[in-house]
């Protein structure tokens, strides 16, 4: 899940919530949406290996 921050950057969050805190895990902050989408794809690729 990608959200735009007030600073104009994009943050990648995990799809599932952290059971301990009830919030989504921060998986990185990126300058562009394209960069965040590429990283999300890379994460999905390694999850399936």
For 1-49, write each residue's pLDDT tens digit. 999 999 999 999 999 999 999 999 999 999 999 999 999 999 999 988 7
What pLDDT, on a 0 to 100 scale, did the predictor assign at position 6?
A: 97
What pLDDT, on a 0 to 100 scale, did the predictor assign at position 20?
A: 94
What pLDDT, on a 0 to 100 scale, did the predictor assign at position 48?
A: 86
Task: Give the span between the Cα atoms of 47 and 25, in whole angstroms.
Answer: 16
Range of the domain at 33: 2-47
What pLDDT, on a 0 to 100 scale, did the predictor assign at position 29?
A: 97
The 3-state DSSP class for residue 46 equals: helix
The 3-state DSSP class for residue 8 equals: coil
Provide the number of structural domains found in the chain: 1
The 3-state DSSP class for residue 12 equals: strand
Q: Encode pLDDT of 8-17 as tens digits.
A: 999 999 999 9
Cα dihedral 11, 36, 27, 13 sign: positive
């Amino acid at each position: 899940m990608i959200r735009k921050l007030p600073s104009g950057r994009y943050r990648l969050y995990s799809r599932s919530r952290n059971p301990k805190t009830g919030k989504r895990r921060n998986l990185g902050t990126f300058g562009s949406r394209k960069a965040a989408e590429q990283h999300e794809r890379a994460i999905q690729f390694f999850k399936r290996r």
